[in-house]
Structure 1
């Protein structure tokens, strides 16, 4: 029996959790060991790690040193979270793999104690390494994903909005799946779920990002919700709202998508106070995202607002928020957003204390068929026309905005990107999107960005979770080759036949189009229609042969092969609908899409952690061009 004798340095909940994790996993690793022994373990944090390029130990930047032998295990880190990251890094060196969220998806080999000889000294390649919640999620989905993040080397989780209510309700209401009965939790149960999420982040030391959209509706005194308001704006609220097309109303009926009249002193004061009060009452939040309303071409057209730019008004608001927080002694970081109208940089205003702020570049309309590394010459900025903007689509157009901001704002920054938020549904093999993620991350230094936050569904593991795995591992160590990660990942989940399956999935990716499913480009596309028909032929002819030629999966691998089996039929059904749409065969589209919807709805509970049925149907309807009839 192996006993770990922890030598305590100081009390800390993250270090306590790291001790628990190391104990549990080592017991599983050394389960065949019969020797009775006690191994001393030393954890230390808060001091520089000799020999690393990042000499300063702090709460934001992660680095560690690991010295492990049968006689002693030492992990020194720059902060408590780095100790936990060091534990998982030690485990990965012993052959452990964490290919998907969930304990059932972990691969823990058996080793001998005398094989425990590890010396590592590493620092993260980037400061910002995290994921933002989207989609339809059960509490178990969220907690499993948070548990998975540090095992990949990530350090952040973004609980979008004030609370993740909409994402939980998307699942528990079974939105877009009429085959399942609603089971929406009550207010007390939801609050209990929220605090579980907060605790899960806290015990792992994850940097806590919060809010984003919702400040404008809260400043009006309207509870935040991504839904139309029950009533029209009250008389006293109307002057605070943006004047658009001659009226001050909720934008398309939705308060959270409604901008304020940022030249109105009452509206400004309410916005500033709302953010400052939140920061004062939520010291557990490390990064508060201060964004304006969602959607675009909905900014105020009154004379005062038209005399300046929205970005100038935005920077002015942020400076006043900073001043209020400084007076209260609050040091919370604030994330400012480059998105939609805010892609155009300010003309007159500048941040007074840039050290408080982190710039977040959000190129939501970019292509995912190509990486940033494939960019050509950067063009001039598109001209800004109030409430008549068009979003950039090319990589070069998007990056022109980042360069314009970076000319005057050389501050901490990261990209807020969307490969697993919509585009991944268009890549049936998940191979191209994973390669784009790898290449994008390696390109971040050339763009002046210090990390990556992925705005994405948490249930994005279909046919596997390779894209997320690549994301986390490459953000920790940008020198890791894509090919090394392919072998590391596929060989564990698919065994000796992994190369055959990799080529199968790579072929599916080559015939797919993330952009087409994401609504980029014309809907009639004969070349893509032919590709979708080829997917059907290829899967029908190749998949069963591939499965017959591969050794029977181990119990651990069974879940991944079961997913592949389901995925094969999924590919055939969805490409029948896509081929009809791309070929312009309008009469064939509804029936093919209906068959696909019925199929994934029927099987949702069986494959719930891996495929977000709500989100793929929403994207297919809002962007791809299908019709969603929830009664079908």
Structure 2
């Protein structure tokens, strides 16, 4: 942050401020001018309110000074000359700048914008000791004062990052309006998940001016995948298929009707008409939104198809290929530049955002147009500083290569506060130990010329990671901070007499992370305590510190805050205790050992009796930590042998593991010994806390979400003639799956799945099947003959249908591989649904059935019947 203090040498007027003198609130009045904006009026009322909370006396808010006291002039009433030298462009980094000036006879607080004026008021209050660590009373710290002190001088504040975003949305237990209030007080200026659409959704009409009062937030057309909005399929595809990606002789629209921003094809990014349409869309947006500052040109999410027309192919990049040959970065930058150049003719000071993401993340040597903002989506090791850890080497090299061509045009999108965002939205007590990462990474970003910052987050972790969210906001405004002083101030204000112990606890954990061999490269893993960090020594020291914190004399608010830290540590103890009890070795990777007759889960672990497991579960319930993280650890860390049950006839052999999600890992042709289901050959060393692990084969999930309930559970089973019957219950829903070979001499496998509501109330749910198929040759070239429910036939390939959903709840499909392997698939259900193809590797793809969502009254069921038939002629 650019920060300047200019001390003034002025004569002291009688009855006015003297340098550094204490001022009682009775001598203050807050001046707004005759026609204040809504934000200036709100800023004045905030200043009066908090001075009243501090001193017991709230100064009057008046349009003009009365002459009876020392006036604090707010916004334009302070005088335009204070902000004249700032750049007034909407998209300029000085837009949110502000000035605090203390003169002998008045105080001026004004911003380069309304938002800057409000920031200036909150800065003035922070200088008096006010703090806002978390939304609402839980995080507000207002000191008691008899008088206030205003050192004479002029201070100018300019942020280090133009955009400052922690993408926080609605969550249980945090008032949506208070969340926006916290963001404004900590100078975050763009919250995509708190734009007006969500304000109207979550706040009553009398509170929907929440942004207007706070100077608004940065206005973007959208913040992510939006090309489908610029060139919508329903508007253009029928008459202008040439606007969209050409792949294997066919044009592919963006997304699907149900997911318009996901999957499908990209635009033909070299088509001049497409470039004109996108530029006109952006210009129209700026015409209609005078405060609008950024419009992205961002393709759909997922593994989209890029155009293979001659002009696009000149820019390199090969669909579905990893590495440099598959990079689409040259196409993305060329397209973004072409659009931005046209926009700049009318709006040279507004920005066109071009992403570096997915298979267009590799740097290229193409200079950016001056009005292009490049956004780099940063992954890597989420626990350690980008510039401090060898595991971040590739990310660092790519960032710095982009920085060479985009200095002061570079933006980042981070994920280190995201955790497991697929888990339940309820409050989660997991710890995200990232304070040291914040301390080093944001200054590093600034050092390479980055001037826009965003991190995605899950607000469900916020209440148990107050310091991490607060520190991120503070560093996003100014990277030139004394970390120790910031931590001391946070702990002292939040935890009272427990502060020394909480502070030492944070430092203990952060030191353990910094020196550990724990490098979470999946953001959900960051929320799973690692025994590589929480060793016996660290855990014992932490327990001692927090025991002393818990015994400190505290007021009601301080007690509530300390209890949150204690609850988080109990969550850590429970998870680490579970892993230790199960024999998980912190120095070794978790693995699964695959065999012909059985799989062994965590073969390096320790076997436990049923009573031992029950005690662990009871303890988790007692301390409130029996959630998804605990169940995942317990399932994977408990050493056990899981038999592979075999069904066999003269034509087919099927292998089923009831204890591993009831999955089918083999469907082997007796004649050729070819297994049509993907069964990974490695023992799968990976992180034990990873959200999804590819066990291979056929699996099912309850609900629409990927890896939902049932996929990683132990099923009860019984064998019958030619069939295996399995069942699993969530307590509310029971899933019964029967795998059978219905004919003794034919290679046909049938799967009947029945999901029944066993509760006393109606439940809305769905069922999703997920077979992973292995194919000889390039799986994407496998030919498809899809017979749809209306009887029509659609001929295609896996590549052409990749990442698309095809209505087919009563249809069938014949798949012919490059090597001649043929498989017929038939599905029927009473819930509707669609087929979904997804190529997952050169030789594998998934053939999912996405069952439609249904409301099930008590006792009602969803039923899905599938048949897989190997075709020999």
Scaled by the length of structure 2, the TM-score of the pair is 0.54
**1:42 and 2:45 matched:** no
Q: Secondary structure at the match of 1:16?
A: helix
Q: 2: distance between equivalents of 1:161 and 1:267?
A: 31
1:104 shift after superposition: 4.3
Q: Which residue of 2 aligns with 1:282?
A: 289
Name the CA distance, whole Å, in 1 between partners of 2:164 and 2:238: 42
1:144 match: 178
Quickly say closer, same or farther: Cα 1:548–1:19, change in 2 above 3 A. Answer: closer
Greater RCO, 1 or 2 (C-alpha within 8 Å, sep 6+): 1
Q: Distance in 1 between matches of 2:240 and 2:626?
A: 45
Task: Report the Cα distance in structure 2 between the residues aligned to 1:531 and 1:220, rounded to whole angstroms.
Answer: 49
Out of 345, 369, 374, the position equivalent to 2:388 is 374
Structure 2 matches for 1:475-486, cutoff 5 A? 475-486=476-487
Structure-1 residue corresponding to 2:269: 262
Larger CA deviation: 68-77 vs 18-27: 68-77
- Greater Cα offset, 420-429 or 483-492: 420-429
Aligned to 1:123: 157
Change (3 A) 1:623 1:103: farther
Residues 322-364 of structure 1, C-alpha deviations (whole Å, 9 max, x = no match): 35545555853222222233323445x6545x1x23232321x
State the structure with more CA Rg: 2
Tell me the SS of whatever aligns to 2:416: coil
Q: Choose the corresponding residue for 1:395, options 392, 396, 399.
A: 392
Q: Would the alpha carbon gap of residues 510 and 136 (structure 1) be closer, same or farther in structure 2, given more than 3 Å must change?
A: farther
5 Å matches for 1:291-370? 291-296=298-303, 298-309=305-316, 310-326=328-344, 331-346=349-364, 350-352=367-369, 354=370, 356-363=371-378, 365-370=379-384
Residue 408 to residue 95, structure 1, CA distance change in 2 (3 Å): closer
Structure 1 segment 45-194 matched on structure 2, within 5 A:
46-48=80-82, 60-61=93-94, 62-67=96-101, 72-113=106-147, 115=149, 117=151, 119=153, 121-133=155-167, 137=171, 141-152=175-186, 154-159=187-192, 190=201
Is contact 2:227–2:297 with CA below 8 Å preserved after alignment?
no
CA drift at 1:404: 2.7
After the TM superposition, which residues 386-535 of structure 1 pair with which residues of structure 2 at under 5 Å, given as runs? Answer: 394-422=391-419, 430=432, 432-509=433-510, 518-519=521-522, 528-529=530-531, 531=533, 534=536
Question: Which structure has more strand as a fraction of its residues?
Answer: 2
Does the CA contact (< 8 Å) of 1:288 and 1:335 recur in 2? yes
Secondary structure of 2:570 counterpart: helix
Q: CA deviation at 1:576?
A: 5.3
Change in 2 beyond 3 A, CA 1:567/1:601: closer
Query: Is the contact between residue 82 and residue 99 of structure 2 (CA under 8 Å) also seen in structure 1?
Result: no
**1:427–1:507 CA distance, 2 compared to 1 (3 A):** farther
1:116 to 1:273, Cα distance in 2 relative to 1, 3 A: closer
**Cα distance in 1 for residues equivalent to 2:591 and 2:243:** 46
Give the Å deviation of 1:439. Answer: 1.2
Q: Distance in 1 between matches of 2:436 and 2:470?
A: 11
Local SS of the residue matching 1:337:
strand
C-alpha contact (below 8 Å) 1:290/1:335 kept by paired residues: yes
- In 2, distance between residues paired with 1:405 and 1:482? 28
CA distance 1:330–1:242, change in 2 (3 Å): same
Cα distance 1:196–1:311, how it changes in 2: closer, same or farther (>3 A)? farther
CA–CA separation in structure 2 for the residues paired with 1:535 and 1:593: 25
Q: Who is 1:22 aligned against?
A: 47
Residue 408 of structure 1, CA deviation = 3.1
The residue that corresponds to 2:854 in the other structure is none
Residue of structure 2 equivalent to 1:218: 229
* CA 1:69–1:104: 2 relative to 1, 3 Å: farther
Whether the 8 Å contact between 2:165 and 2:190 is mirrored in structure 1 is: yes
- Aligned twin of 1:613: none
Deviation at 1:486, TM superposition (A): 0.6
Cα displacement (A) at 1:449: 1.6
Instruction: Give the aligned partner of residue 870 of structure 2.
Output: none
1:500-536 CA-to-partner distances (Å, cap 9, x unmatched) read 122223434455689655538999x9x9546557499
- Matches of 2:342 and 2:245, distance apart in 1: 24
Determine if contact 1:573/1:596 at 8 Å carries over to the other structure.
yes
For the residue of structure 1 that corresponds to 2:52, the secondary structure is: helix
Distance 1:521 1:458 in 2: 14
Deviation per CA, 1:555-601: give whole Å up to 9, x if none.
Answer: 33233123123323322344456666864484899997999799879
- Other structure's SS at 2:462 match: coil
Larger deviation, residues 24-33 vs 477-486: 24-33
Q: Which structure 1 segments of 5+ residues have no match? A: 169-188, 225-232, 377-393, 605-618
Does the aligned pair in 1 maintain the 2:382–2:519 contact within 8 Å? no
Distance 1:262 1:515, change over 3 A: farther
Q: What is the CA deviation profile of residues 426-477 of structure 1, one whole-angstrom value per residue up to 9, with x for unaligned ones?
A: 99654x5112112112223431222422222344424241122222323333
Q: CA deviation at 1:544?
A: 6.5
Rounded Cα–Cα distance in structure 2 between residues aligned with 1:90 and 1:520:
37
Judged with a 3 Å threshold, the aligned counterparts in structure 2 of structure 1 residues 244 and 565 are, in CA distance, closer, same or farther, namely: farther
Kindly indicate whether the alpha-carbon contact (under 8 Å) linking 1:242 and 1:298 is maintained by their aligned counterparts in 2.
yes
- Residue 4, structure 1, aligned to residue 33, structure 2: no
SS of corresponding position for 2:405: coil
CA distance in 1, matches of 2:294, 2:89: 16
More helix per residue: 1 or 2?
Answer: 1
2: CA distance, partners of 1:597 / 1:267: 57
Deviation for aligned residue 1:478: 2.8
The answer to whether the aligner puts 1:550 opposite 2:555 as a matched pair is no
Do the aligned partners of residues 96 and 223 (structure 1) sit closer, same or farther apart at CA in structure 2, a change above 3 Å counting? farther
Q: Structure 1 residues 433 and 140 mapped into 2: Cα distance closer, same or farther (>3 Å)?
A: closer
Instruction: Tell me how far apart the structure 2 counterparts of residues 465 and 237 of structure 1 sit (CA, whole Å).
Output: 51
Determine helix, strand or coil for the equivalent of 2:130.
Answer: coil
1:195 is displaced (CA, Å) by 12
Partner Cα distance (2:228, 2:59) in 1:
62
Structure 2 Cα separation of the partners of residues 294 and 69 of structure 1: 54
CA deviations 1:18-50 (Å, max 9, x no partner) are: 112111111111116999975422133654569
Query: Could you list the runs of 5+ residues in structure 2 that have no partner in the other structure?
Result: 1-24, 61-65, 317-327, 593-600, 629-688, 696-705, 711-729, 732-873
In structure 2, what is the Cα distance between the partners aligned to 1:366 and 1:485?
27
In structure 2, relative to structure 1, the CA distance for the partners of 1:130 and 1:595 (3 Å cut) is farther
Deviation at 1:277, TM superposition (A): 3.5
Q: Normalized against structure 1, the TM-score is what? A: 0.72
Supply the RMSD in Å over aligned alpha carbons: 4.9
